[in-house]
Amino acid sequence: MNILIVGPSWVGDMVMAQTLFVCLKQRHPDCQIDVLAPEWSRPILERMPEVRQALSFPVGHGVLDMATRRTIAASLRGQYQQAILLPNSLKSALVPFFAGIPKRTGWRGEMRFGLLNDMRKLDKQRYPLMIERFMALAFEPGAELSQPYPKPSLRIVEETRDAALARFGLSLDRPVLALCPGAEFGESKRWPAEHFAKVAEVKIREGWQVWLFGSKNDHAVGEEILQQLIPGLREEALNLAGDTSLAEAIDLLSCAEAVVSNDSGLMHVAAALGRPLVSVYGSTSPAFTPPLSEQVEVVRLGLDCSPCFERTCRFGHNNCMRELKPRPVIEALGRLVPQPVEVR
């Protein structure tokens, strides 16, 4: 049985989608899973043993481009017995429909009547977690999801990890603290740079080195963090944001003895790598998209106005992040990693 997954458009969602792939493999051990998704997601999918191949989807998020969708559909015709759609948009249902895939499964979303023939109505109370909404699509409607839930786990190839270390001239002679200060969703999910800098300062004084990760959009905040470190400490931190590919970021994150991250895609990557992780939440909620790992501490204030799930603070103060001081994060790191651990 060949199954086509139409994948999500965010890094964290793609990591969490692995829970669906695991459920499909448990239910259909001989099935082959291909994932149609943006090209950027290939490094994530290639590190999931459940996925046979990543199929590049060149149409940008929110773009219709009917001609390209029909061309892709024609190339997939006759190859799959089922398609499972993780996005809820109407557009995401077009390729499986045009490809004539016999069973097309997904949540109702944008009223996709006719495009889906196995359309489910989402009960948000029954499935409050995003991974539950993904996993439920592996089973018949109304099926109970068995506990414990699978956790994402990205495999690392030592040769590619070593190549990434060599490219950036990095050494593992001291424990590595990875900081992930970005959040593509919006400003409301970002912990202030000065708080990240204080955590970096404390760990550097304890003998650690600090690597900062993120996209090119996060490079400036990485530089801001470095500038708040005094000379002598600043040299022990390296801003990699925007300089690494996603594949390199994954490989280098696997070297970290601990990670501090906003609620972001890299937070979910770190969890899937099994790294001790402190997750800082403000405008969003760990009750919906928690990091899925045993070695996690979530730090949040839980103000009356949060979670609001807004990209920017409606009150303009961003207190759910600004008033969350470094001390609780530093203490959480101390509980997770009381002393340096050996890199896998």
Q: Is the pLDDT of residue 157 over 70?
A: yes
Q: Which two tokens stand for residue 283?
A: 């405008």
Which of 14-28, 129-143, 181-195, 293-307 shows the lowest per-residue confidence on average (mean pLDDT)?
Answer: 181-195
Q: How far apart are CA 23 and CA 3, in angstroms?
A: 13
- What is the pLDDT, as a whole number, of residue 186? 58
Q: If you ran DSSP here, which 8-state letter would residue 121 be given?
A: -
- What is the pLDDT, as a whole number, of residue 165? 98
Map residue 237 onto helix, strand or coil.
strand
User: Helix crossing, 193-205 with 219-227: angle to 10°?
Assistant: 50
Q: Which two tokens stand for residue 240?
A: 């990699």
SS3 content of the chain, % helix, strand, coil (to 5): 35, 15, 50
State the chain's mean pLDDT as an integer.
Answer: 92
Q: Is the pLDDT of residue 270 over 60?
A: yes
pLDDT in tens, 222-247: 999 999 999 999 999 999 999 999 99
Q: Is the pLDDT of residue 343 over 60?
A: no
- Ranges of CATH 3.40.50.2000 domains, the chain: 2-138, 160-336
Which class does domain 160-336 fall in? Answer: alpha beta
- What is the pLDDT, as a whole number, of residue 308? 64
Indicate the fold that domain 2-138 takes in CATH. Answer: Rossmann fold (3.40.50)
Evaluate whether 220 touches 239 at the Cβ level (below 8 Å).
no
Output the pTM of the full model: 0.92
- What is the pLDDT, as a whole number, of residue 185? 59
Which of 80-89, 207-216, 286-295, 302-311 shows the lowest per-residue confidence on average (mean pLDDT)?
Answer: 302-311
Which of 35-49, 138-152, 222-236, 314-328 shows the lowest per-residue confidence on average (mean pLDDT)?
Answer: 314-328
Q: Which amino acid is at 12?
A: G
Q: What is the arithmetic mean of pLDDT over 193-201?
A: 96
Residue 122 CA to chain centroid, in angstroms? Answer: 23
Q: What is the CA radius of gyration of the chain?
A: 21
Q: How far apart are CA 150 and CA 152, in angstroms?
A: 7
Evaluate whether 257 touches 343 at the Cβ level (below 8 Å).
yes
Maximum average pLDDT range among 27-31, 106-110, 139-143, 261-265 = 27-31
Evaluate whether 199 touches 233 at the Cβ level (below 8 Å).
no
Q: What is the arithmetic mean of pLDDT over 155-183?
A: 95
